[in-house]
Amino acid sequence: MGIWEMSGNYGGEQEVFRRNKLLLKCIQVGLFCTNCYLVMNEDTSEGLIIDPGADPIKICYAIDDMGMIPVAILLTHGHFDHIMAVNELKRKYDIRVFILDAEKKLLSDPVLNSSNGLIKQPYTTSADVFLEDNDSVVLAGLTIKVIATPGHTVGGACYHLSKQKILFSGDTLFYESIGRSDLPTGDSDLLIKSVRTRLAVLPEDTFVLPGHGVTTSIGHEKRCNSYMRSNKYNE
Ligand SMILES: [Fe+2]
């Protein structure tokens, strides 16, 4: 990752990455240490909030610290640990929430989003824009391609900024691993297929920012992640 100028606490509460006038901050939120990402276009100070899973006050402090003007919330999927600050942030900033259309039902169903089953705190929220596979959206001056990666959940997605060579992989792809598939709407075969057919084909120098844990790259995962190397779904 030598091309990145990095600062902050490595492996700690916050990490900051800067590239080509893009400022990225990762904040770990909630009991499950979800990576909430703040992505700011330094030309305009506009930016995105990705997966605000908890701790809205902490997220707001980080936004203020960056001087970021939030313009949208992007959700990689609807699990409770990625959405539980959405209502507060929507109220504070009056911005739209984006999610894959196939994931819509998780937002309104505490059983499907596992807030009922895993933490006994039923939570619901809603989105404003429902995306489809291969959509491209321009937000904060950044072009974001939607890659549907079902398997962790039915409507899970990764967000690809091809110009900046960045992938927000949610709980689909982790450092040398992949997400679980035993929660409602999960499907292990589909998850491996998504990783193998939709993510392994990206450029190897794509910087991968997952929903939990440390960053990686497509190249590293192709070499070291047995799920991605699997030939089971070669076409
Ligand atoms: Fe998840």
What tokens appear for 152 in the block?
Answer: 């962790």
Task: Compute, in angstroms, the gap from residue 113 CA to the centroid of ligand 1.
Answer: 9
- In this structure, is residue 235 part of a structural domain? no
Q: Which of 57, 51, 59 is nearest to 78 (CA)?
A: 51
Q: Which of 176, 178, 141, 182 is nearest to 158 (CA)?
A: 178
Number of domains in the chain: 1
Task: Compute, in angstroms, the gap from residue 43 CA to the centroid of ligand 1.
Answer: 32
Here the CATH number for the domain that contains residue 78 is 3.60.15.10
- pLDDT on residue 98: 98
3-state DSSP helix/strand/coil % of the chain, to nearest 5: 25, 30, 45
Task: Compute, in angstroms, the gap from residue 212 CA to the centroid of ligand 1.
Answer: 9
The total of other beta-carbon atoms located within 10 Å of residue 181's CB is 17
What tokens appear for 89 in the block?
Answer: 């942030």
Say what the alpha-carbon torsion angle 29, 25, 183, 106 is, to the nearest 10 degrees. 90
3-class state of residue 223 by DSSP: helix
The single-letter DSSP state of residue 145 is E
Q: Phi/psi of residue 38, each to 5°?
A: -110, 125
- pLDDT on residue 6: 44
Task: Compute, in angstroms, the gap from residue 172 CA to the centroid of ligand 1.
Answer: 8
Task: Compute, in angstroms, the gap from residue 174 CA to the centroid of ligand 1.
Answer: 11
- In this structure, is residue 175 part of a structural domain? yes
Domain range for residue 67? 5-229
Sort strands 216-217 and 177-178 into parallel, antiparallel or unpaired: unpaired
- In this structure, is residue 234 part of a structural domain? no
Task: Compute, in angstroms, the gap from residue 34 CA to the centroid of ligand 1.
Answer: 9
Local confidence pLDDT in tens for the 235 residues of the chain = 333 444 443 344 567 788 778 999 999 999 999 999 999 999 999 999 999 999 999 999 999 999 999 999 999 999 999 999 999 999 999 999 999 999 999 999 999 999 999 999 999 999 999 999 999 999 999 999 999 999 999 999 999 999 999 999 999 999 999 999 999 999 999 999 999 999 999 999 999 999 999 999 999 999 999 998 865 555 4
CA distance 111 to 123: 9
